[in-house]
Amino acid sequence: MTSTAGHATATGGYSHRQIMVILSGLLLGMFLAALDQTVVSTAIYRIGESLHGLTAQAWVTTAFLITSTIATPLYGKLSDLYGRKPFFLFAIAVFITGSALCTFATSMYMLAAFRAVQGIGAGGLFSLALAIVGDIIPPRERAKYQGYFMAVFGTSSVLGPVVGGALAGQDTLLGVDGWRWIFLINVPIGILALVVVARVLHIEHERREHHIDYLGAAALVVALVPLLIVAEQGREWGWGAGYSLACYGVGLVGIAVFVVAERHAQDDALLPPRLFRNGVFAVGSAQSAIIGIGMFGGITLIPLYLQLVKGNSPTKAGLLTLPLVLGIMVLSLVAGQITARTGRYKVLPVIGSALLVVGMLLLWRLSADSSLVYVDLAMFVVGAGLGLNMQTIVLAMQNAVPPRDIGVATSSTTFFRQLGGTLGVAVFLSVVYSIVGSRITSAYADARGTAAFDAAARSHPDQLKVLGSASSGGSGSLNDTSFLRGLDSALTHPFKVGFTEAITVAFLIGAAVLALAFVLSLMLKEVPLRETGAAFAEPDAENAASPDAGSSAPSGSR
């Protein structure tokens, strides 16, 4: 076993210095993917204008989502079979290639195709980085180092909107359209990550006999592509429209074939059925999906509130989510320290899930006139809940499976969280769009008769007409709320009240969904943490994790 400095330590692991050198490459790779998620969302409207394709902008997001979601479990399984390093390098190289291609896009559909290439690379950046950490660092110490990943995630969440807004706001920069630099900046960062990982990451891998689960991979594509498409496009098509029904049908057929294929493939399956007989893996997978529903569904609505109700630009709204990011970063670091010092971790997702419910209930009590201090508090509580949950669930699942399945376990958390997040965003936004018109109409009915509103209506009848048209515009009026600028505040206030009432309904649904995550966290069994990284496990450790409950994993300090 070789490392950055030559050889692993005599105890069968890497020194802190060696780990930090390796982490530098992993963190650069993760930074690429995390930054890309936020930097593009801020600039997508400007990109659509530049490429004359505002109506097709959703496909830019959908294409990336489809390929990254499908690629995630493939990377996990293949890296278990052939080793992490080649696939992590491949993921970085594909992401760089996709980024470079996006720079030269001349239409929204071309950009969507190149974003799909990016997604293939991004699918491996998150899951493989955490799987490599599982290989080289013992579980008890792993939580401390995973805090660095949460810090990178948080930093990119803050930088993304700022960088995206700044670059998209430039007509040209060095002779290139400003928005194209959003993709171009990935290239040098990616090349640096590629060089660092190639030079510092050296983990031996023992090949074993296997068969590639081609049928399972094909069935996964057939299952996920139509379901992800309808999740993204269903609001526009209509959930009961012909296109949507066709997607449901094809997706269900794909799921059925995938289940049969996985049972037939057994240990060679992308998601081996035996892992779901492991209580920790099964509960962790379900918890990841449910937290994804609540997390992404709820978080998507916060920037909308900050922009439409509080009147902030997309860039500033992104910056105002800093309390959420701080909550994730601070509590993930706290969770890591607690796990490293005590060897205990079950209590962390229990507290974290409870905080998520409390945070969503705080958001449910938002009003159009709520102070930013209250919004900040609610966001921090939600972030704290995520910080206690995200890395702890990954750690629990990695620790509960045999070392040979670290890649599958790690990619599964990302995979199920992404699926849950896609469903959550679709459901939450559909709830908002379906009731926002009636809520705004009701708010205007309540406002009529008040002195301030009636005076403003008499003074600005043209503005009242614009607001009336926007109130019945559905999701279109929420995609571009620039019409609110410059209008009399007395006339716009009922619009903001109605919108706030609509999104608080979604927050309440989110609290109910996350209550299920709390119940699941109580069911999570605490398996003693292994004392070595997966790459240093003894041969008999392959059978150490119990397939039924995970209760007989190798003992470690508590």
253 with 151, same domain?
no
Query: Comparing C-alpha atoms, which of 348, 352, 345, 338 is closest to residue 385?
Result: 352
Selected residue with higher pLDDT from 166 and 76: 76
168 with 252, same domain?
no
| Separation CA 4–CA 204 (nearest Å) | 13
In a domain, 66, yes or no: yes
pLDDT tens column, 241-274: 888 899 999 999 999 999 999 888 887 888 888 8
What is the sign, positive or negative, of the torsion defined by CA atoms of 176, 178, 180, 181?
positive
Q: Using the predicted structure, report yes or no on whether residue 465 has a pLDDT greater than 80.
A: no
Predicted TM-score (pTM) of the model is: 0.83
| Separation CA 164–CA 137 (nearest Å) | 35
Query: Comparing C-alpha atoms, which of 469, 427, 476 is closest to residue 58?
Result: 476
Contacts of residue 200, defined as CB under 8 A and 6 or more positions apart, other chains included, come to 4, 21, 22, 24, 25
Q: Using the predicted structure, report yes or no on whether residue 44 has a pLDDT greater than 90.
A: no
What φ, ψ does residue 274 adopt, rounded to 5°? -60, -30
Q: For the chain, how many structural domains are there in total? A: 3
63 with 146, same domain?
yes
165 with 264, same domain?
no
- 529, 534, 538, 540 alpha-carbon torsion, rounded to 10°: 80
Share of the chain above pLDDT 90, in %: 25
Confidence of residue 54 (pLDDT cuts 50, 70, 90): low
Most trustworthy range by pLDDT among 42-51, 407-416, 478-487: 407-416
Contact 37, 160 (CB under 8 A): yes
Per-residue burial over 183-197, b = 16 or more CB atoms within 10 Å of its CB, e = otherwise: bbbbbebbeebbebb
DSSP state of 529: P
DSSP state of 307: I
Domain boundary among 477, 499, 521: 499
In this prediction, residue 530 carries a pLDDT of: 76
Measured CA to CA in angstroms, residue 261 lies from 248, 265, 267 at distances of 20, 6, 11
Q: What is the mean pLDDT of residues 74-95?
A: 90
Contact 22, 201 (CB under 8 A): yes
Per-residue burial over 303-338, b = 16 or more CB atoms within 10 Å of its CB, e = otherwise: bbbbbbbeebebbbbbbbbbbbbbbbbbbbbebbeb
Q: Report DSSP letters for 366-415, one per residue.
A: --TT--HHHHHHHHHHHHHHHHHHHHHHHHHHHHHS-GGGHHHHHHHHHH
In a domain, 258, yes or no: yes
Q: Using the predicted structure, report yes or no on whether residue 481 has a pLDDT greater than 90.
A: no
In a domain, 546, yes or no: no
For the record, the structure tokens of 531 come out as 């004392």
pLDDT tens column, 398-450: 888 888 888 888 888 889 988 888 888 888 888 888 888 889 888 888 888 88
Q: Can you give the CATH number for the domain in which 79 is found?
A: 1.20.1250.20
| Separation CA 260–CA 263 (nearest Å) | 5
137 with 265, same domain?
no
| Separation CA 92–CA 553 (nearest Å) | 34
39 with 24, same domain?
yes
Q: What is the mean pLDDT of residues 510-526?
A: 93
Query: Comparing C-alpha atoms, which of 379, 372, 370, 371 is closest to residue 325?
Result: 379
Neighbours of 298 (CB within 10 A): 27
In a domain, 548, yes or no: no
Q: What is the mean pLDDT of residues 341-360?
A: 93
466 with 489, same domain?
yes
Residues in the chain: 558
162 with 251, same domain?
no
Domain that holds residue 461: 441-499
| Separation CA 269–CA 356 (nearest Å) | 34
In a domain, 204, yes or no: yes
Neighbours of 205 (CB within 10 A): 15
In a domain, 514, yes or no: no
What is the sign, positive or negative, of the torsion defined by CA atoms of 475, 478, 484, 489?
positive
36 with 98, same domain?
yes
Q: Using the predicted structure, report yes or no on whether residue 174 has a pLDDT greater than 90.
A: no
| Residue whose tokens read 């969507």 | 112
For the record, the structure tokens of 242 come out as 């012909």
For the record, the structure tokens of 502 come out as 């609509």
Q: What is the mean pLDDT of residues 480-501?
A: 80
Average pLDDT along the chain? 82
Cα angle, residue 468 at apex, residues 467 and 469 outer, rounded to 5° = 90
In this prediction, residue 1 carries a pLDDT of: 38
| Residue whose tokens read 């097709």 | 56
Residue 6, sorted as left (phi over 0), alpha (psi -120 to 50) or beta, turns out to be left
81 with 183, same domain?
yes
Measured CA to CA in angstroms, residue 362 lies from 260, 297, 321 at distances of 43, 15, 15
In a domain, 335, yes or no: no
| Separation CA 174–CA 181 (nearest Å) | 10
Confidence of residue 10 (pLDDT cuts 50, 70, 90): very low
140 with 201, same domain?
yes
| Separation CA 546–CA 349 (nearest Å) | 22
13 with 153, same domain?
yes
| Separation CA 303–CA 309 (nearest Å) | 10
In a domain, 236, yes or no: yes
Residue 456, sorted as left (phi over 0), alpha (psi -120 to 50) or beta, turns out to be alpha
| Separation CA 516–CA 384 (nearest Å) | 18
Q: Using the predicted structure, report yes or no on whether residue 468 has a pLDDT greater than 50.
A: yes
Q: Coil, strand or helix: which one is 6?
A: strand
